[in-house]
Amino acid sequence: MNPHQVHLIRKSFAELGRHEHLAALVFYKRLFEIAPELRPMFKGDIEAQSKKLLDMLGVLIAMLERPLGLELELKAMGARHADYGVKDGHYAIVGAALLDMLQTTLDKDFTPETRAAWTALYGAVEMFMKAGAKEASEEHASHVAGD
């Protein structure tokens, strides 16, 4: 991501923060419309879960100038998500719900340029979370094998 894209992400995320409650609800509504089979994976209160997701996005967005720290954070998140039962194929579904939510919430402020910046961000999030899940499962396999 280039500095202009980082700027667009921060600007739009700040705007999203002004509609935080709506954004969170729209995200999960859209997610379960696209993929109702994911609903049982979420055990807790969905409003609290929405807040966690948005707060975590804020943490990640604040770390964009620290790629190493970001990579570690995302890999650890990916490993935890594998424990929640998240599979590689789920990432594209969540990415689609996220972009739809941004479109609905930001409306005309969600310009093609801003969409491209979020697409790049989610691509990186997805790549590192999947890598973290894979590393954790390989580590687990080597412990089981005893080496």
Binding residues (CB under 6 A) for ligand HEM: these are 38, 41-44, 49, 52-53, 56-57, 77, 80-81, 84, 86, 90-91, 94, 125
Nearest residue (CB) to ligand HEM, 36 versus 146: 36
Supply the minimum distance, in Å, between the C-beta of residue 139 and ligand HEM. 18
Supply the minimum distance, in Å, between the C-beta of residue 122 and ligand HEM. 6
Nearest residue (CB) to ligand HEM, 10 versus 146: 10
Nearest residue (CB) to ligand HEM, 77 versus 101: 77
Supply the minimum distance, in Å, between the C-beta of residue 146 and ligand HEM. 29
Supply the minimum distance, in Å, between the C-beta of residue 91 and ligand HEM. 5
Q: Output the DSSP codes for the chain.
A: --HHHHHHHHHHHHHHHTTHHHHHHHHHHHHHHH-GGGGGG--S-HHHHHHHHHHHHHHHHHTTT-HHHHHHHHHHHHHHHHHTT--TTHHHHHHHHHHHHHHHHHGGGS-HHHHHHHHHHHHHHHHHHHHHHHHHHHHHHHHHHT-
Distances (CA, A) of 130 to 23, 42, 56, 133: 25, 19, 17, 5
Nearest residue (CB) to ligand HEM, 30 versus 90: 90
